[in-house]
Amino acid sequence: MITLKKCPACASVNIEKFIETEDFFLSKETFSLSKCRNCQLVFLNPRPDSDELIKYYQSDQYISHHSEGLNPFVALYRYLRERNISYKYNLITKLVKYGSLLDIGCGTGEFLNYFSLKNWQVKGVEPDLDARKHAKAEFGLDVYDENMLNGFNDETFDVVTMWHVLEHVLDVNQRVKTVNKLLKKDGIFVVAVPNYLSWDAAHYNRFWAAYDVPRHLYHFSPNALINLVEKFNFKFLELKPLKLDSYYISLISENYKKGRLPYLNGFINGLKSNIYAKKKQNYSSVIYFFRKN
């Protein structure tokens, strides 16, 4: 385990213990989260090293990579994914009508395929071998492992997207710096992450499924995410909610806390989260849009 003495985003040593929670999904181990008082980033601390982290992804139930089967959570995930893809397309094409797009952490390729069918030039990066194989075999996509991030030419893409990926990345500063290098001038960076200031996060506390320790290394407030990205020559444009995510996260959280009537309570609490979020935009999951300066 690696203990961090300073914030991995802003390097401040002004950090405090935030919460202890459990890997409810897989290992049942307990992990601690710290919070930076300077930039408000919450992060796993201590955390496994890169080699050790791999074992926490090794499950057929890890649905961002394995989306087949009849498990009700998998079925719900597929449904929400399909609904969200057209929503994401409409948001992005308001800023860029057509062009080249790189999706980092593209999973099994459904998002990229949607853009490809709309005549976008698309490429993907995905660390999971099985997911890459699926994206290539099912959709004929160009999908590479993470080493390719250093293989693309500078200023290649009009849009770079990361959908619930940045929270997994070992070095967030280096990743944002790389995205800037890959984008054309005035290119758009789109990043979606869970929001630990949401109502459902507060309601479920340590059972909040989006903590997902130790796979999620970081947890962002809107200020923490915007401050991180704007350090690297980006201008924040706007944020938009992923409203459907609150229902999915609430349902899994109900399952983790072994609540009664998990589907009903998950729906009710997902709805509550979206209602409470309207005033301060503290939705369960948020999409951030940035333009390269």
Let me know if residue 5 belongs to a domain. no
Q: Which domain holds residue 51?
A: 15-292
Let me know if residue 49 belongs to a domain. yes
Is 150 or 260 the better-scoring residue by pLDDT? 150
pLDDT-above-70 percentage for the chain: 94
pLDDT tens per residue across span 267-291: 999 999 999 999 889 999 999 999 9
Let me know if residue 262 belongs to a domain. yes
pLDDT for res 63? 47
3-state SS, one letter per residue, for the chain = CECCCCCCCCCCCCEEEEEEEECCCCCCCEEEEEEECCCCCEEECCECCHHHHHHHHCCCCCCCCCCCCCCHHHHHHHHHHHHHHHHHHHHHHCCCCCCEEEEECCCCCHHHHHHHHCCCEEEEECCCHHHHHHHHHHHCCCEECHHHHHCCCCCCEEEEEEECCHHHCCCHHHHHHHHHHHEEEEEEEEEEEEECCCHHHHHHHHHCHHHCCCCCCEEECHHHHHHHHHCCCEEEEEEEECHHHHHHHHHHHHHHCCCCCHHHHHHHHHHHHHHHHHHHCCCCEEEEEEEEC
**Number of domains, the chain:** 1
Q: How confident is the prediction for the chain on average, in pLDDT?
A: 93
CATH number at residue 65: 3.40.50.150
Let me know if residue 70 belongs to a domain. yes
Let me know if residue 167 belongs to a domain. yes
Let me know if residue 10 belongs to a domain. no
Let me know if residue 6 belongs to a domain. no
Let me know if residue 8 belongs to a domain. no
